Every structure is written in structure tokens, then in C-alpha cells.
Structure 1
Amino acid sequence: MSPQRKLLLLGTFVHSKTQQSLDIFHNAGIAVDADGKIAAVERDVPDLSEAKARLLTKLGWDEAEVDVTQAADGQFFFPGFIDTHIHAAQYANAGLFGKSSLLDWLETYTFPLEASLSDLSRARRVYARCIRRTLSHGTTTAAYFATLDVAATNLLADLCLSMGQRAFVGRVCMDRTEMNPAYYRDASTEASLEATRQTVEHVRRIDPGFDVVSPILTPRFAPSCTREVMAGLAQMHRETGLPIQTHLSENPGEIRLVAQLFPESSSYTDVYHRLGLLTPRTVLAHAVHLSEEEAEVIAREGAKVSHCPCSNTSLTSGAARVRWLWDKGIDVGLGTDVSGGYSHSILEAARQAAMVSRHVAMNIEIPRDDDDDAAAAEEKTKEKERVKLTVEEVLYLATRGGAKCVGLEEKVGGFEVGMEWDAQLVGLSHVHDDGELHHDGGGDGDDHGFVDVFGWESWGERVAKWLYNGDDRNTKRVWVKGRLVHRRR
């Protein structure tokens, strides 16, 4: 691989400052060194040429050795999205869930497709397309479930590294004989753990520092695993520090099944807690139906939650309560959960998170006017408003929130000096007086997407329009660790 060139990015930058606020700065420049790290930031200078000159002087860089990207009118730089829960092996089934509930969907659609990817030519087609598609939507980091096949899982790691997507790649463990189909399960507990060790060592060989691709320990979910394999993965975590990903309390039927399989545990969460799988490096997908006690345990152990609003709706699993999770002290990110979720776009997941929060609000009952307890009615009204997530909050979930979930909060999710340049260039087209679109410097012809900007919107309003109307046509360029990994033609 040829040496990476230094970068200068000039224009408007938008990123999350806190959960509740965006930091939007104009006439600014960011310098990225040859290692892909932000070396300097110049904000609020008179013009972009001045920002460029100041950065070159401050760092002593020769302009001939620097690639310059200047945002056109209507464009802005935004951090890359982080998908904290996606099944790369299920990408080919996106949109196929019929009228299924979770357990039926696994048997009908999921297990047959995943098993078929032991054919590596088939796996390459699915995985390469999944990576290209998610990159085109601005996903710079993805926490992937692969399959139980070692070679296919290793292929996914190879492809992520070669195509430049930051990734956590997990070989799924599923050794319980009575719960997994005979054609798709680990041969034994020890075989499951040994296969996981093989994938860990493969990733260590191709990316020794786990700078771009990391292994992640992946017990599929409690019903598919024996106590022994989950305890073995917990021991592996303690020895290596590797992250863990699994599913939790997605569906009422699943929860009842867990109670039958693990009668010694007081809850679904308690299964993982007893076996050592709840850690600060654990990502729990869904967490829709948690009790107060379960949330307290998750918060105390520092485990994270991946909120998957599209999948939770598609499979009729339920509506996760993000505000409630935050109030409990639990870090939350966003997951597409392809293919339980039909969309591979984290921007879509962000807007669905906003919509699901409104359904949570609608389910809060306010006492009727003839009720004597006016104070209680007022409190319920305030609660209804408070549970609704804002534009700023769902974009935080998509970036800094996701970075916290996967342990990369010091590296990605924002535009501070020392962080790595995982970012996307977003373009919004302006509408002319005749109703035609002004070319924004990216894309061809009329292929500009659904975001129409008329010129009188504030920048906060433009970002809101992008959240609710945007798609991959607005994602013009994508970088990971300073490397350009996608450019829209």
C-alpha cells in the first residue's frame, strides 16, 4: 500500500458537541496527518484561503504534499456513522422478513442464508456488497456478526481491511444442540471456542494492532449457546480484553425461552451477568424489554446498548426506551441490525430512532380531564415530551454514542485534534427561483436526493432536513483514518 498523503479539509464542519447540541463551524479548516489523525483545527477565520494558509504555516507542511478538499456551497463535513449492530452475513436478505416474529424469522430466512456462506465465492459477493453499500451511506465503523464458518468470517475481516472500513468482526458461536439446526451449529463447545480463537488469530495476523479491524467475541444469543461456551468466551475476554457482542431482550417470546433454558437465572440479563459476559466492552443489541433491575445491572457493569429501531419495528419486537436507558446511566448507540432491519443506513436508523421515541411517548397515558390528580397529569405530559428524541440526540447516537459503545470514543465520532479522520462530506442542493436544483459539486444530473434547501433555512434546519430526507445521494465522499474509501460519481 502506498504511503498515505496528508489532507486539508476546508469549509463547514458539523459534529455533536454533547448529547443535546451540535457544534457547527464555518470558514474552517482541519489538517490530517499521514497517519490519518487530526493534527490541527482552524475555526472561524475570515475565509477558507486564510484557514489553509494558517494550517500549512502552523504545521510546516508543503502544499505540494497535501490533498485539499474544499466543501462546495451547500456541503459540510460530518463524522462517519457507527453501526453498532449489523449482520453482514444477512445482507442479501435485507427486506425479507414477511410477517415473521424473531424466532420464526431465524429459521425461515436467517439460518439457511448464513449456512450457505460457507461457499466463499458466495460469501465474497454478499460481504463485498455489504461493505460497499454501508460505506456509501457514510458508515465508517461497523460491528459485524459474520457466520460460524471460520474461513468466511476471516474473509469478511480481509475485505473490511482491504476496502478500508473500520470494523469489529465476530464469528458467531452457537453450540446448543436442541436450539440450532443440525446443518448450522458448532460441533461442540470446544470446537466453538477453538474456531473463535482461529478467527482472533487471523485478524491479529492481518492487522496486528487492531488499528482498523478488530475481532469481537460473539455468542449469538443466550438460547443458541450453552453455559460452557458463554463462560469460555468470558474467560477469553478476561485474557485478551477483546470486546463482546450479543443480543438481549429483543422479543417477548425470546425472553420466555431464556427463562425456560436458564431457570437458575432471575432474568435474561442475569444469564450474561452470571457467566461473566457483562463488561464495559460488551455491546447488547436491542434491550427492548428490560426491567428496572436489569437496567441497573447493565449500568453498574458498564455494558452498552445498541438501539435497533428498524429491526425492532420490522419484527414487531417492541419499542426500546432510549431516554430511560440514558437516565439509568447506560451508553447507547445505533444499529441497523440488517437483515432484521431492512435498511443498511445509519441515517435511516437515526430518524427511525426519533420516530420510535414518539411512539414511546404516545404510549404514556395522561389522566383524563375529570381526574382529580392534576399534578400527576402534568407530570405525565412533561414525560411524554421528554422521551421524544431530538435531531441533535439521534445524530449523537449515530456518532459519539456509537463510538462509546464500541470503545472508540477517543478515536472517532468528532473533530478534535488527536482524533482520527473518519468523516463524510455531505452535499445539500439549493433550489433556484425556477424550482431547479443548483449543482452542489457532487453527483451527476438530477441525482441529488430529496433534501431541498431554499436558502432561508438556518444551518440547524439544514441538518434536520438532511436527517429526515437524506440518503446516500447526499454522501459525496467518505474517509476512514484519512483514507478516501468512497466517492460518489
Structure 2
Amino acid sequence: MPEPRLNQRFAIVGTFVHSSNEQSLLTLQDHCLGVANGKIIFLQKWDEDLLTLLQEHNILPESVIYLKERQFLIPGFVDTHIHASQYPNCGKGLDEGLLSWLHKYTFPVEAKFADLEFATETYSKVISRVIKNGTTTACYYATIDTDATLRLCDIVDKAGQRAVVGKVNMDQNSPDFYKEETTQSFQNTIRYVNEVINREYQLVKPCITPRFAISCCMDLMKQLGQLARSHHLHVQTHICETRDECTMVQKLYPESKSYTDVYEQAGLLTKKTVLAHGIYLSKEERETIKKRRSGISHCPNSNLSIRSGLLDVKGCFEDDIAVGLGTDISGGYSPSIMDAMRTAISTSNTIAMQRGPSYTPLDYKDVFRMATLGGARVLDMDDIIGNFEVGKEFDALVIDPKAAGSVIDVFENDSIEDVIQKFVFLGDDRNILKVFVAGRDLSEKSCVEPLNIS
């Protein structure tokens, strides 16, 4: 279990970078942020009278972290769509389109997780990797195996990461070696949800996870929708990822007006629903998603790697739909949200080249917000995490653009905004010195240890 956070008070002095609903990027230099019991208790400009500020909040001077010049603090990254069980396939098997790719590569590797030893080893590796890359909150797909999914929850909890974790449901159009019977699938999901609730994890929540409309019958999806609503649970699934997928869903559910309408009829669309991809959503479908306050996970690496298509994120923004970023490993080959940020810009630039000068693509500020506050909104957690507002939990990353091994070169005339932009386009895990989740320092040094970060 994570170490207790009670009575832990500390402060950080330096430069803070975050987003608000109104501004994609806010830079606060010469500020001090205070943390108590894992939550932000103040963020304000400081002067020579720092000691008085600390005394007002019962923070000892030796519990202050001073960031060095050019270092800065950002909110932790939020990965809104990641298949932890596909991690063994990262960086390989990208020669097929979605539906054939699932049967050739994905289902066989996911079936291996019935072996708890394999599951433990693999899940431990992927959790370690994504935390190292700055993901403080993740929305995980596991597999159809209940015990292995519970093992994933244990590993995430022990690592101290914030997460929603789903046991996958599949009862049709799936291989015999990786498929459930409808009643069994639902009963195992009830067992999974109850077990996660009973374990009383601090930061790990269960998530209802019908893989997608092709692999789940309507009866199963309706039962899952009811379970999600009765327990106020998150829901995650896929939608409109490829044209072939959309055509198949239309054939399977001819009584539904659209792919989105399938989930609407099943009662799966809520403000806690994460819809991965959404590339081929119609205007009417986006209106339904907006009405239900569901969010979209944009997975640009995956969309390009298995040639699914290009999501018009700006169009979603115009329709007032929350959009976060997802790595979607192993359709996406990188477990880093920083890769997702860059690939999202490349995707948007491609759309701009197709549509002409009237289309304004995403910039580094847009994707920074998507990776932090935007992802929190998609997960219906923006009242808890996503930026440095007082009262929110302290999920954050200490960034050093000049860290050992960094590929970023910083010049004397570079402004703080220049350095942030360079980090977005060039940074990697070497630039992430510390990872905080709910005030707990997941690196080796205690978060309350006084230090000048080097």
C-alpha cells in the first residue's frame, strides 16, 4: 500500500506551468506552492518574506524544495486510453489494419494474462515505464481475466499511480480462446467491481469496459450500462476508429441510427465515459456525445501506426467535447504522453495542409492542456487533478530541460515559453526529475526531504 500522507506538509519554490479552462498555458515564475495531506493549499508569488508565508501554513523551512534556474513544475500527464495488456507488443506487429491486427497480434497476447505470473511481470513493467514517462493518471484496459485485472490494480496501487482500471468484456465476434459467455462476462464484472471497492484503494477505481460494439452483444452492453450507472463508475470503450469497424457495427446493429446510438441505447454514455478514437463520428453523433458529456481520447500514434485515420480535434473542441490524449499501446508504439502530444500536432498539421489556410491546427499549448487538464476533464476528474488550483490533489512533474543526457539545448536568450515549447517537442523521460501523485513523491527521495534539485 502507498505510504500514508497524513501531516505531510512541504512547499516548492520556482516556476509553475499549467492550464486553465480559459488559457491553454499559464506560466507563473517566482511562485511558491504549498502541499498538505496531498492537496494544494496555496500557490502565490513570493518575495523575500518567504519564511512568513511558510509559517502561515505550518510548513517548516527544511521542507521546501527549491527548483533551479530553468527547471519548472507541470501537472502530471493523464493517459486517457492505454491497453496495459498489450505492452509486450509495443513497437512490433504494425503491418495490419485494426480488425485483422486484433486477431493476429492482440487477442493472442491478451490471452496470455490468464497466467498470473506473466500478468504480474508484464503489468509491473508497463506501470514502471509509464510512471517514468510522467503519467500520473491512467485509464487502463486489462483483459477478460478477472484475477489478472485485480493483479493490475494491486500493482498500480503499490506503485502509487492514480488510475481507473477495466476488466474487458467480450462475448461475440471473438476467437474461442479469448471469449466469454454473456452471463459469465457480466457476473465476472460484478465480482471485479465489488472486489476493487472492497479493497479500498486510495487512488485506483474500477471501470466498466466493453471492448467495443463488435465484440459485445446488446444485452451485455445494457447490463454493463446499468451497472455503471448504479455504482457511478467510469466507462471506457472504442468508437469509430476505422471505416471497416463502422461498417461492421452498422451491420450488427441495423436498428441503431449510428455507432454512437448503439452505446446510447445501451446506456453507456455518461459524463464518466471515455470514447477512444472517434475519428469518423458524424455531426449528429458528436451532438449526442456532447449532450451526455462524454469525452474522447485522441490516440494519434495509434491512428497513424495502424492507418486508422485522422481525428479533427479542433472540430471536437468547436462542438464543446472534452478531448484528452491516449497512448493506446500497442496500436500506438510509445507509452509516452509526450509522444502523443507531438503526434497530435503532426496530425493536426496534416489536416491543415489538406483543408488550407482557413484551418488553424493545434499548437504546443493546446496539446499541453490536452495532456493535463483536458485528460482530467475526459476522466471527470478535473475537480481533483489537472492543474495547480488550490484544493486539488498535487499530481506534478519536476522538469529539467538541462538534465543529464537531455537532447534539449537551452540558450541564454530563450524565454521560459521557449523552453516549455522545446520540452514539448524534444523532451523525454530524462527531463522528468520527479513524479508526484497526491503529494507522494514516487521517486526515491522523500517529497519532504529538503533539497536543491540537481
| TM-score using structure 2 length | 0.95
Change (3 A) 1:427 1:487: farther
Q: Does 2:18 correspond to 1:22?
A: no
The answer to whether the 8 A contact 2:239-2:275 is kept is yes
Distance in 2 of aligned mates of 1:56 and 1:146: 44
271, 278, 282: which is aligned to 1:287?
A: 278
Instruction: Give the aligned partner of residue 31 of structure 1.
Output: 34
Distance in 2 of aligned mates of 1:61 and 1:18: 30
Amino acid at match of 1:205: N
Instruction: Give the aligned partner of residue 76 of structure 1.
Output: 72
Amino acid at match of 2:290: A
Once the two structures are superposed, residues 24-60 of structure 1 have per-residue CA deviations (whole angstroms, 9 ceiling, x without a partner) of 1112111111x200112222x235xx43x13321113
Matches within 5 A, 1:306-455: 306-364=297-355, 381-382=357-358, 384=359, 386=360, 388-429=361-402, 440=403, 447-455=404-412
Instruction: Give the aligned partner of residue 458 of structure 1.
Output: 415
Instruction: Give the aligned partner of residue 432 of structure 2.
Output: 475
Matches within 5 A, 1:100-111: 100-111=96-107
Instruction: Give the aligned partner of residue 113 of structure 1.
Output: 109
Once the two structures are superposed, residues 226-284 of structure 1 have per-residue CA deviations (whole angstroms, 9 ceiling, x without a partner) of 11110001110121110100000001111111111111112111111111111111110
SS of aligned partner of 1:99: coil
SS of aligned partner of 2:93: coil
* Higher CA-based Rg: 1
Once the two structures are superposed, residues 76-133 of structure 1 have per-residue CA deviations (whole angstroms, 9 ceiling, x without a partner) of 0000000000000001111123321001110111101100011111111111111111
Matches within 5 A, 1:40-439: 40-43=42-45, 45-46=46-47, 50-51=49-50, 53-63=51-61, 67-176=63-172, 179-186=173-180, 188-207=181-200, 211-364=202-355, 381-382=357-358, 384=359, 386=360, 388-429=361-402
Amino acid at match of 1:56: L
Change (3 A) 1:246 1:57: same
Distance in 1 of aligned mates of 2:142 and 2:182: 18
Change (3 A) 1:301 1:2: closer
Amino acid at match of 2:426: N
Distance in 2 of aligned mates of 1:399 and 1:295: 22
Instruction: Give the aligned partner of residue 451 of structure 2.
Output: none
Q: Percent identity?
A: 41
Shift of 1:343: 0.5
SS of aligned partner of 2:136: strand
Shift of 1:19: 5.8
The answer to whether the 8 A contact 1:249-1:288 is kept is yes
The answer to whether the 8 A contact 2:10-2:60 is kept is no
The answer to whether the 8 A contact 2:302-2:329 is kept is yes
Shift of 1:293: 1.1
SS of aligned partner of 2:327: coil
Gaps of 5+ in 2: 446-453
The answer to whether the 8 A contact 1:136-1:486 is kept is no
Instruction: Give the aligned partner of residue 444 of structure 1.
Output: none
Shift of 1:356: 0.4
Distance in 1 of aligned mates of 2:20 and 2:230: 35
Once the two structures are superposed, residues 406-445 of structure 1 have per-residue CA deviations (whole angstroms, 9 ceiling, x without a partner) of 011011111111011100000011xxxxxxxxxx5xxxxx
The answer to whether the 8 A contact 2:13-2:32 is kept is yes
Distance in 1 of aligned mates of 2:225 and 2:177: 26
The answer to whether the 8 A contact 1:80-1:399 is kept is yes
Shift of 1:451: 1.1
Distance in 1 of aligned mates of 2:389 and 2:194: 33
Distance in 1 of aligned mates of 2:253 and 2:52: 63
Gaps of 5+ in 1: 367-380, 430-439, 441-446
Once the two structures are superposed, residues 380-428 of structure 1 have per-residue CA deviations (whole angstroms, 9 ceiling, x without a partner) of x32x2x2x00111100000000000101101111111101110000001
Amino acid at match of 2:324: G
Distance in 2 of aligned mates of 1:487 and 1:348: 25
Instruction: Give the aligned partner of residue 370 of structure 1.
Output: none
Distance in 2 of aligned mates of 1:322 and 1:470: 23
Shift of 1:63: 4.1
Amino acid at match of 2:432: T
Distance in 2 of aligned mates of 1:328 and 1:158: 38
The answer to whether the 8 A contact 1:96-1:109 is kept is no
Distance in 2 of aligned mates of 1:221 and 1:3: 38
Distance in 1 of aligned mates of 2:60 and 2:413: 39
The answer to whether the 8 A contact 1:91-1:130 is kept is yes
12, 17, 22: which is aligned to 1:9?
A: 12
Distance in 2 of aligned mates of 1:153 and 1:450: 37
Shift of 1:2: 4.8
SS of aligned partner of 2:275: strand
Distance in 1 of aligned mates of 2:94 and 2:209: 27
Change (3 A) 1:487 1:450: farther
Once the two structures are superposed, residues 362-392 of structure 1 have per-residue CA deviations (whole angstroms, 9 ceiling, x without a partner) of 121x5xxxxxxxxxxxxxx32x2x2x00111
The answer to whether the 8 A contact 1:251-1:318 is kept is yes
Instruction: Give the aligned partner of residue 450 of structure 2.
Output: none
The answer to whether the 8 A contact 1:42-1:55 is kept is no
The answer to whether the 8 A contact 1:19-1:392 is kept is no
